[in-house]
Amino acid sequence: MEPTPLDIAHATMSDAPDDDTARLRFYERIADAELYLLLEAEPVDDQINPQILDRNGEQYLLAFDRAQRLAEYAGDAAAYVALSGRNVAAMLEGQPFGIALNVDVAPSAILLPDTAVAWLRETLTHEAAEVEAKIESVLPPKGLPESLIEAIDAKLATATGMAANAWLVGVQYSGGGRGHLLAFVDAIPRAQDALVRAASEALTFSGIEAGAMDVGFFNHADPTVTKLMRVGLRFDLPQMETLQKTPRMPGSDPNDPPILK
């Protein structure tokens, strides 16, 4: 099996144990990954009963970043549910469980204690502040680390159909303030909160102060968009294909994680 994003991020973190950015990036990959959670039985009415691993008096839910890895650990007939890492963290709020990730089946095997899961959950629920400011001039982006550019690109690569594209620019605000702006063009209204969270997480998991970048939304007919296109760094978001009707799986709604039995 080819190394997964979690394998790569884990290896990078292991090779540089004092690198805070590498550690943050590993946790970001956990949040973004689809994890296969091993269950005692098939889900019933959005309630799940995960298998628990006991290690040295600590308890962990067993999760894998590939279905093949879960099958290698527990067998092809094992019951499981697929959830994003962020949903697993949300589901464990108030629960004394950590996450046993890829144990015995991958180089990224690691035991994350409940304190680490709580930190991840709190980091993911951080809300950006909303402010209003008038843009006076649009400038090329300067001075932002490559790690942030890569983080934004990785986040937006999963934001399928949420906007037409995005532009990273420098801005001068009326009143003298300066900064950077990630401007989304033709974002669908219900996706705006998710896009703000994605931008905020890109900053957080790059180890950069939250005030280093603002987020804005523009219609393609807005004259500002022409200025963005002249000087900005463009990010293309994947666009939606025709969706098939699929059964609703437990945890498919990020605001309504499944319930532990």
Q: Are 200 and 210 in contact (CB under 8 A)?
A: yes
- 232: domain CATH number is 3.30.300
Tally of domains within the chain = 2
Q: 125, 153, 178: which is the final residue of a domain?
A: 125
pLDDT over 50 (residue 47): yes
- The per-residue pLDDT for range 123-141, each reduced to its tens digit, is 887 665 566 778 899 999 9
Both 101 and 17 in one domain: the answer is yes
Both 74 and 156 in one domain: the answer is no
Q: 107, 125, 143: which is the final residue of a domain?
A: 125
Residue type at 88 in one-letter notation:
V
For position 29, what pLDDT does the model report?
A: 93
Secondary structure element (H or E) that encloses residue 69, with its range = helix 67-74
Both 113 and 182 in one domain: the answer is no
Instruction: Tell me, yes or no, whether 191 lies in a domain.
Output: yes
Mean pLDDT of the chain: 88
Both 111 and 218 in one domain: the answer is no
How far is residue 228's CA from residue 181's CA, in Å, rounded to a whole number?
10
Instruction: Tell me, yes or no, whether 119 lies in a domain.
Output: yes
| Owning domain of residue 89 | 5-125
At 255, is the pLDDT very low, low, confident or very high (cuts 50, 70, 90)?
low
Instruction: Tell me, yes or no, whether 211 lies in a domain.
Output: yes
| Measured distance between the N- and C-terminal CA atoms of the chain, rounded to whole angstroms | 34
pLDDT over 70 (residue 73): yes
Both 156 and 220 in one domain: the answer is yes
Instruction: Tell me, yes or no, whether 170 lies in a domain.
Output: yes
Q: 125, 160, 181: which is the final residue of a domain?
A: 125
Neighbours of 52 (CB within 10 A): 13
Both 24 and 80 in one domain: the answer is yes
Both 144 and 218 in one domain: the answer is yes
For position 126, what pLDDT does the model report?
A: 66
Instruction: Tell me, yes or no, whether 60 lies in a domain.
Output: yes
Both 15 and 73 in one domain: the answer is yes
Instruction: Tell me, yes or no, whether 204 lies in a domain.
Output: yes
Instruction: Tell me, yes or no, whether 112 lies in a domain.
Output: yes
Q: Give the residue-averaged pLDDT of 228-251.
A: 71
Instruction: Tell me, yes or no, whether 244 lies in a domain.
Output: no
Q: Exposed/middle/buried for 105, CB within 10 Å: 0-12, 13-18, 19+?
A: middle
Both 13 and 120 in one domain: the answer is yes
- The per-residue pLDDT for range 131-171, each reduced to its tens digit, is 677 889 999 999 888 888 988 998 898 889 999 999 999 99
Both 120 and 151 in one domain: the answer is no
For position 167, what pLDDT does the model report?
A: 97
